[in-house]
Structure 1
Amino acid sequence: MGINTERDVEANLQIGPTDQGFVRIFIEAGDVEIPMDFDPDEAQEIAEEILAAAATARAVTD
C-alpha cells in the first residue's frame, strides 16, 4: 500500500498548540489515537510540505 492507495477509513484530525509550546496533530480512527507533537519549526516545515502538495495536486486536476 502506498500514498495512492484509496481506503475507506473514517478519522478525526485535530491540530493545535499544546501548553508545552508544541504543535500537536491528533488523529483518532476507531479505537486508535495518535498524538504527534512537533516543535514550531517542524510544524512550519510540515505546513509548507502540505501547501506544496496541495499546489501539485491542484495542477493535476486543472
Structure 2
Amino acid sequence: MGINKESDVSANLQIGPTTLGMVRIYIEADGVDLPLDFEPEEAEDIAEELRAAAERARAMTMKK
C-alpha cells in the first residue's frame, strides 16, 4: 500500500512519553499492536515532518 492509496482500515493512535524518557507512538488496529519508541529529538523531527505535510495537504485542498 502506498502513501497516496486510500484504505478502509481503522486504527487507534496514542502518543506520549515513556518512563524511560522516550516518546512512544502506539498504533493499535485489528490484530496489530505496534509500539514505536523515539528519542525526543527524533520525535521533534517527526513533528516537523507532520506539520510540513499538513501545510502541503492544506495548500492542495485550497487549489481545488
Q: Same fold (TM over 0.5)?
A: yes
Query: Structure 2-normalised TM-score?
Result: 0.94
Number of aligned residue pairs: 62
| Structure 1, gaps ≥5 residues long | none
| Structure 2, gaps ≥5 residues long | none
Q: Which runs of 4+ in 1 moved over 2 A?
A: none
The aligned residue for residue 39 of structure 2 is 39
Tell me the secondary structure at the aligned position of residue 3 of structure 2: coil
The aligned residue for residue 52 of structure 2 is 52
- Give the superposition deviation at 1:37: 0.1
Query: Structure 1-normalised TM-score?
Result: 0.97
The root-mean-square deviation of aligned C-alpha atoms, in Å, is 0.5
Corresponding position: 1:15 with 2:15: yes
- Give % identity: 65
- Give the superposition deviation at 1:13: 0.1
